[in-house]
Structure 1
Amino acid sequence: MNVARALRILAALIIGTLTAVVELAGLLVAAPLALLCLPHPAARRAGERLLRAVAVPLARAEIRRLGLLGGLDVTVGTGRVAGYLAARWPVGLLGGLVLFLLVVGVSTSVLFVWGWAHGESPDGIPPTPGILAYLGVAGIVLLFLDIMGIQGVAALELRVARRFLGPSPTELLERRIDELARTRAGVVSAVDQERRRIERDLHDGVQQRLVALAVLIGRARRGRTPQLRDDLLQQAHEEAQEALRELREVAWRVYPAELDTLGLREALSAVAERAGVPVTVAYGLTAHPPTEVETAVYFVVREAVTNAAKHAAAGQVRVEILEDGDTIVVRVRDDGRGGADPGGGGLSGLARRVAALDGRFRVDSPPGGPTAVSAELPRA
């Protein structure tokens, strides 16, 4: 835990102790009034409105305070706010108690050290080696327990807020269904877009080469002299080689055979060799990823490197494949002119492919560069 985070946690718990006192006082006032209003519908409705008018601002203030502890995906409505405040005030007082014990322990330690430094013996305890060792060990243990208590209270604060103010299981399920529907539509669109690009490459590239090859062979058959036939056959041979090369390029863009035969590392090395610009690949995976994740990593790197070479006028590209727990992180950075459009065909297709695996995709490409393409993919 760094110093800044520790100070934020301490500030959140101190403020939380004060707000817990306010919430407890409000509960002690509101509970008897609510009991008195129960037999009277009009009075009960008025009391509920008054309770919401007080509870909602308090809950919003609590959420802002908990922002010091970390991000929260919660919404302050009117349904469970009163329950949240009723459940939170004991946690706030517990945090105040832990902080009080910390202050008492630190002040006692300072008092003893100050007295011994000035030749005094606080509470008649002399600074013998045994006493110093005992108090040192006890102080370290109590300080450790206080720190653990502070972290525990902070975690409990966040858990109570998520329990009462966070999305319900039904809402989470609806969000998941919406996300799956979007990613499914994105995958269908990406596949259709890739199919159209393959058809275009075959029509504009390979097909034109084959037509030229057929024309040259036809002319060679009608050639009047051996020299003309040899020249035409030489041109036909060159066209056939170009057609094979372009056909291999199309097949490589559909699915790289290196992934199945040699693995991801060698497939990325092949991407670097074909890039046309210097590409450095830092491969940090210790285990073989699942096939679908491996394929997504390959396409992210290939598309980013291809864009850097063809459109960004990059002079150097660096590729990093790292592990962060159960997440595979892909970063591709170039020194080109930037300005890449995340909504473009290739990058948007990558975003949909990554989203289909519950991953995250990001493009940072300010005008003038550099461009950084990153993806985070769960291993399973």
Structure 2
Amino acid sequence: MNALMNDIEVIKTKHSKINEVDFDHLSFGKTFSDHMLECDYKDGKWQAPKVVPYAPITLDPSAKIFHYGQSIFEGMKAYKDGDNNILLFRPLDNFKRLNISAKRLAIPELPEAYFMEGLKALLKVDSDWIPKNEGSSLYIRPFIFATGKGFHASPADEYKFVIATAPSGSYFAGELKVLIEEKYSRSANGGVGFAKAGGNYAGQFYPTQLAIEKGYQQVIWTDDNTHEYIEEAGAMNIFIRINDTLITGPTSDRILDGITRKSIIELTEKEGIPVEVRKITVSEVVEAAKNGSLKEMFGAGTAAVISPISGFGYKNEDFDLPKLENTYADALKKRITDIQTNKVEDPFGWRYKVI
């Protein structure tokens, strides 16, 4: 297999778009690189992947992605350091999580070499698309969806694996004001909340839009049963600092095992910041806000890395967080991004050098 993967077919575009891009003013995920990786599953196995020009995908109207939602994805970033090395951050964790999602949605699992060697081949072809500006990166979107045809409610017999990339700036600008959700749920026990399934995000849009109409930017999700426990912040894991202790909920059927989340936990443990992985109630957070012990809240995920929360709403009452000079959010974000961009040593072995 390795011999095959080291000889991935590359079909280069005849018309690069790179000179049309303003790399000093990149929005997030709206500009796309010249090429993508493509690989089909048919006849009971994954076929050889290849790098092709970025282009629309044509599907039959009966393709099962449209009817039964078999679709999963990952989010990653590539960076360049001062020596033009191409770097990834914990890519094998993304690969493993993609297959966890695949298994839950009855999608054939992908061989590791197809993911890793295919990604490396794509990044080598589009290396000039990786921004070097502070705060920018090449966002990487691996995804798998059902292409098999038919209206019968059953898993498809054909799938497509794609990796597309987008040079991107910051995901969020500034701090977030969030609304703690009292009615809607992101996921439920026994469901697919732990998977990166497209439907998870589609189900978030309506409650989030309701929150936006009330003047908030995002929703803090609570448990589906009682709505008493804090679970996630928008499409991110959430961390809450009470006094000097950082708290985040345990992963479960409902909560995504975020790679940035895991990195923050490992960093805080190494650097002596008290961290607790436990359930945290809405009432505990509200009480901490009232008595002044609530110091910080922030979301954590690949796209934004860390997004500070400036305040939250709950039961028609708003709570502002204090303005601190030295925050855990700022320190942890700098530590992670410095590791990602090779500005500091990486004692964890997270950084992965492509070339």
TM-score range, shorter chain: under 0.3
Name the structure, 1 or 2, with higher relative contact order (CA <8 Å, separation 6+). 2
**More helix by proportion, 1 or 2?**
1
Which of 1 and 2 has greater Rg? 1
